[in-house]
Chain A
Amino acid sequence: MDLLRFTTAGSVDDGKSTLIGRLMYDTKSIFEDQLQAIEKSSEKRGDENLNLALLTDGLKAEREQGITIDVAYRYFATPKRKFIIADTPGHIQYTRNMVTGASTANLAIILIDARNGMIEQTCRHSFIASLLGIKHIVVCVNKMDLVDFSELAFEKIKASYIAFSETLGVPDIHFIPISALKGDNVVDASKHMSWYIGKTLLQTLESVQIISDFNTIDARFPVQRVIRPQSDAYPDFRGFAGRVEGGVFRPGDEVTVLPSGISTKIKQIFLEKTELREAFSPMSVCITLENNIDISRGDMLVKSDNQPKVDQEVELMLCWLNDKPMLSKGKYLLKHTSNEAKCVVKEVAYKVDINTLNKIEGDFEVNKNDIVKVTLKSAKPLFFDAYKKNRTTGCLILIDEFSNETVAAGMIL
C-alpha cells in the first residue's frame, strides 16, 4: 500500500469541508463516537443536515465561526492506499495556509460550484497548486444536485478550465461532476449522471500514479547528522545520516562532497542493521564512505557527474507568510535542506497579482499572502536545483531572527 498526500481548496461555501467529511464517512473512516459527537454539535448549532464539515473544524473559534483558519490534516485509507489530506481555507487572506498545505502534496482537489463556474479563487488555487509543484489536479464540479445534474453545465465549466490551465503547466488534470452533500461520484457512483462514465473521486485518488513524481535522476543527499558512536563496539565508525532527496545511491558509487568538492566512494548504505543495495527518495539512511573526509551537517553528497548549482545568489518565487511585511533589503535567516545561512533580499522583481496572474512591477510592500519574485544573497553558498526539478533542493524558508517566526516560503527558479 502506498501513500498519497493531497490538498483541498475551495472557498467557504464551495463545500470543501463537506467533501472531506463525505470521503471519510463513505470510506467508513469516521468512527462511531466521532459521528455521535458531530451529530450532537450539529444539533446544538441548529444545522438541518448532518454537518460533515464539523469533522474538520477542530478549534473552538472555528466551530463558532463556521470556517477553517489553519491547515488541518485528516487521514483515511482504503485497501489500495493511505491518504493524508491537507485541508486548507479558501479565502484569499489564507493564501499562506494553502501554500503551506500544498508544499507536501502530490495532488490538489479544486472545487468549483456548478452554479457559478470558474471564479477568481479557482484561478488562484490552481496557480498556487502549480507554483508549489503539484503535478496532479482533480477539478471537482460540486453541487451538481443544484443544477439538475446537467451535463451541459459540467462541460461548460470543464472547457473553461481547460482553456485556463494551459498557462499552469500541470501535466495531469481530471474532471469529475460531484455532489459532496448528496454523495454523488465522491465514493459511490452517481445514480443521477449516467452521462458521466469516468471514475469517482475516490477511484481517481486511488489510481493516480505518483511514483514518477519522485526525482530518480539527480542524486542528492543533504547530510543531516554525523553519527559517531565512539563506543567499544564501534570505536571508529563515522556515518552520515540523512534523507535521500533525489536520484539513487548505491554502495560503490562515486560521490562528490559539497562544498569541499572532494570525491570519494560510498562504502555502505544502511538503516539500523539492514544493509541496503540502493537508496532513493524519500528514504532516511546512514551512509559510510571509503575515505575519511571532514563532513558536517549542511554538506551534501552528490554524484560527481550530476551536480546542483552552487551559488550565493538565488532567484526565487517567495510567498510571504507573516503578518509583518517584508523589510526592504531586510536581513533574514534562511533554511535550505540542512543548511542555514544569513541572507539579504537584494531585489524584488515583481509581485504576482494572484487573481489575474499578471506581474506587477515597481516599488511596493511585500505583505502577508503576497507572491513575489526576488533575488536573495546568502552569506554562504547554497547547493540547489530549480524547484521544478527537485522540490526539496529547490525550496527554502526565511526566518525572522528576532521573532523566530517563519516569515516566507521560497521556490528557487
Chain B
Amino acid sequence: MHALSHLEQLESEAIFIFREAVEQFENPVILFSGGKDSITLVHLAHKAFFPAKIPFPLLHIDTGHNFPETLEFRDNLVKKYNVRLDVGYVQDSIDRGTAREEKGINPSRNTLQSITLLEKLEEGKYDAAFGGGRRDEEKARAKERFFSHRDEFGQWDPKNQRPELWNLFNGKKAQGESFRVFPISNWTEMDVWQYIKKENIDLPSIYFSHERSIVNRGGVLLAESPYNTLLAGEHYEKQIIRYRTLGCMTITGAIFSKADTLDKVIEEVAAARETERGNRADDKRSEAAMEDRKKQGYF
C-alpha cells in the first residue's frame, strides 16, 4: 500500500516548497518569531536540506517586548542548527524616527514590526522570506499563496497575486520586489501540534501550563511585565496559564490551562472553542485588521 498519512503529505509539501524557494530566490531568510509555527518551519528546513546545513539565516524582529523564554529558546535553536541569526530591533526604528511609538499608556509595538521588518529585509537584501503563516488562521489568509508576491514597498495586493496551479510556483520578480513564502499554508493548528508530537520538536516552556502573574484586561489575560502599566482598578494575580500563541508580552493573551504536557495541550487544542488567534488583541481591532496589516507589509 503506497499511502501517506495527512501529516506525511503536508510535510512533503512543505519540504518541496523550501527546496523550490531556495532554488528560485537568491537570498531567502526565515522569519522567526519564536512561536510554534516558525519553530516547525526551522525543523522542516533542516529536513529539507539534510545533510547540508540550512542554507539561509533566521531573521527575528525584536519588539523589545519579548517573553524572555522566547529569546533563550531562539538562541539555543540557532546553536543547534548552526545557522546565522539576524535580529532587527524595533527600538532602532523608533530611535531612527522611522517608527513612532504608539501614544497612550500601554503602547503595543506590534504594528511597528512591519516597519522594522521591511527595513531589515531591505538592509539584508533578502528577496524571499519564509513565514509560518497558515491559511486556516484567519479570514484574510484563506487566499494566500505559497509564494506570495510583495511589491517594492513590501505591500501585498490581493489583485497582484498569481494563480498557483499544481506544484508549479512562479517566483519571478522585478528589481526591488520580493516574496513571502509560506510552506505550511495547508496546515491547521492541530496539524502543527500533531507534527510537533510526531517529530518530538522542542518548544518554549510557556506553551505549557505554568504559574504567572496575570491581569485580566477586558477578557485578555496579560502577563506582568516591565512593558505593561496597570490601569486604575487593575491588579495582578498569580494564575495557572499557558500560551496558545506567542506575540509580544503586551498583547498576547494567555489562557487558563493545566495542560503541562504535549498530549494534554493537544487534547485542549482539540476541544478548544476559540481560534488560536482569537486571543490576539491586535486582530480584534477591526474586522479587516489582518488584511489591512498585510497590505502594509506586516506579514
Binding site for B on A (CB under 8 A): 1-3, 31-34, 37, 41, 56, 58-60, 70-75, 77, 81-82, 84, 96-97, 99-100, 103-104, 211, 214, 216, 224-225, 227-229, 231, 233-234, 237, 239, 241-243, 248, 271-273, 278, 280-284, 286, 297, 321, 333, 335-336, 338, 391-392, 395-397, 399, 401, 404-406, 409
Rounded to whole angstroms, the CA-CA distance of A72 and B20 in the bound complex is 23
For chain B residues 93-129, which have a beta carbon within 8 Å of chain A? none
* Interchain CB contact under 8 A, B135 and A73: yes
* Interchain CB contact under 8 A, B165 and A103: yes
* Interchain CB contact under 8 A, A282 and B12: yes
- Chain B residues with Cβ below 8 Å from A75 are 135-136, 186, 188
* Interchain CB contact under 8 A, A59 and B23: no
CB proximity of A289 to chain B, nearest CB, Å? 16
Known: A3-B6, A73-B186, A231-B53; 16 extra A-B contacts, CB below 8 A, are A31-B275, A33-B275, A58-B139, A73-B136, A73-B143, A73-B185, A224-B19, A227-B49, A227-B50, A229-B51, A234-B51, A271-B47, A281-B2, A283-B8, A321-B163, A405-B162
- Chain B residues with Cβ below 8 Å from A72 are 142-143
CB proximity of B226 to chain A, nearest CB, Å? 30
- Chain B residues with Cβ below 8 Å from A237 are 51
CB proximity of B94 to chain A, nearest CB, Å? 30
Can you report 26 A-B residue pairs in the complex whose CB atoms are below 8 A from each other? Answer: A3-B10, A33-B274, A34-B275, A58-B140, A72-B142, A73-B142, A74-B136, A75-B188, A77-B188, A100-B165, A104-B165, A211-B3, A214-B2, A224-B16, A227-B52, A231-B52, A231-B53, A282-B13, A284-B11, A284-B12, A391-B166, A395-B166, A404-B172, A406-B163, A406-B165, A406-B170
CB proximity of B11 to chain A, nearest CB, Å? 8
- Chain B residues with Cβ below 8 Å from A336 are 168
For chain B residues 144-164, which have a beta carbon within 8 Å of chain A? 158, 161-164
Question: Which of B6, B49, B135, B168 has a CB less than 8 Å from the CB of A396?
Answer: B168
* Interchain CB contact under 8 A, A229 and B166: no
* Interchain CB contact under 8 A, A33 and B278: yes
* Interchain CB contact under 8 A, B163 and A216: no
Say if the beta carbon of B76 comes within 8 Å of chain A.
no
* Interchain CB contact under 8 A, A103 and B166: yes
* Interchain CB contact under 8 A, A58 and B170: no
With A3-B6, A59-B158 known to touch, is A229 a contact of B168 (CB < 8 Å)?
no
* Per-residue interface assignment for chain B, residues 47 to 84, with 1 indicating a CB less than 8 Å from any chain A CB and 0 otherwise: 11111110000000000000000000000000000000
Say if the beta carbon of B272 comes within 8 Å of chain A.
yes
With A70-B143, A72-B142, A75-B136 known to touch, is A272 a contact of B46 (CB < 8 Å)?
yes
Binding site for A on B (CB under 8 A): 1-6, 8-13, 15-16, 19-20, 22-23, 46-53, 135-136, 139-143, 158, 161-168, 170, 172-174, 185-186, 188, 190-191, 272-275, 278, 287-288, 291
* Interchain CB contact under 8 A, A41 and B287: yes
- Chain A residues with Cβ below 8 Å from B136 are 73-75
CB proximity of A21 to chain B, nearest CB, Å? 13
- Chain A residues with Cβ below 8 Å from B4 are 2, 282-283
CB proximity of B52 to chain A, nearest CB, Å? 4
Residue from B10, B23, B168 whose CB has the most chain A CB atoms within 10 Å: B168
Question: Which of A1, A73, A395 has a CB less than 8 Å from the CB of B168?
Answer: A395
Rounded to whole angstroms, the CA-CA distance of A243 and B162 in the bound complex is 23
- Chain A residues with Cβ below 8 Å from B288 are 60
- Chain A residues with Cβ below 8 Å from B162 are 405-406
CB proximity of B5 to chain A, nearest CB, Å? 6
CB proximity of A301 to chain B, nearest CB, Å? 15
Rounded to whole angstroms, the CA-CA distance of A59 and B288 in the bound complex is 8
CB proximity of A371 to chain B, nearest CB, Å? 14
Question: Which of B46, B272, B291 has a CB less than 8 Å from the CB of A59?
Answer: B291
Q: Which A-chain residue is minimally distant from B149 (CB atoms)?
A: A404
- Chain A residues with Cβ below 8 Å from B10 are 3
Q: Which B-chain residue is minimally distant from A57 (CB atoms)?
A: B139
- Chain A residues with Cβ below 8 Å from B275 are 31, 33-34
* Interchain CB contact under 8 A, A100 and B163: yes
Q: Which A-chain residue is minimally distant from B288 (CB atoms)?
A: A60
- Chain A residues with Cβ below 8 Å from B172 are 333, 399, 401, 404
Residue from A82, A229, A395 whose CB has the most chain B CB atoms within 10 Å: A82
- Chain B residues with Cβ below 8 Å from A41 are 287
Rounded to whole angstroms, the CA-CA distance of A333 and B168 in the bound complex is 13
- Chain B residues with Cβ below 8 Å from A397 are 165-166, 168, 170
Question: Which of B1, B135, B174, B272 has a CB less than 8 Å from the CB of A31?
Answer: B272
- Chain B residues with Cβ below 8 Å from A392 are 166-167
CB proximity of B279 to chain A, nearest CB, Å? 9
10 closest residue pairs by CB, A with B: A33-B278, A229-B52, A3-B6, A404-B172, A58-B139, A103-B165, A284-B15, A284-B12, A82-B6, A32-B273
* Interchain CB contact under 8 A, A272 and B143: no
Residue from B5, B162, B173, B188 whose CB has the most chain A CB atoms within 10 Å: B162
Rounded to whole angstroms, the CA-CA distance of A26 and B16 in the bound complex is 34
* Interchain CB contact under 8 A, B166 and A284: no
* Interchain CB contact under 8 A, A409 and B53: no
Residue from B141, B163, B188 whose CB has the most chain A CB atoms within 10 Å: B163
With A59-B140, A211-B1, A397-B168 known to touch, is A297 a contact of B9 (CB < 8 Å)?
no
Question: Which of A60, A71, A99, A243 has a CB less than 8 Å from the CB of B16?
Answer: A243
Rounded to whole angstroms, the CA-CA distance of A33 and B272 in the bound complex is 11
Rounded to whole angstroms, the CA-CA distance of A233 and B50 in the bound complex is 12
- Chain A residues with Cβ below 8 Å from B174 are 404
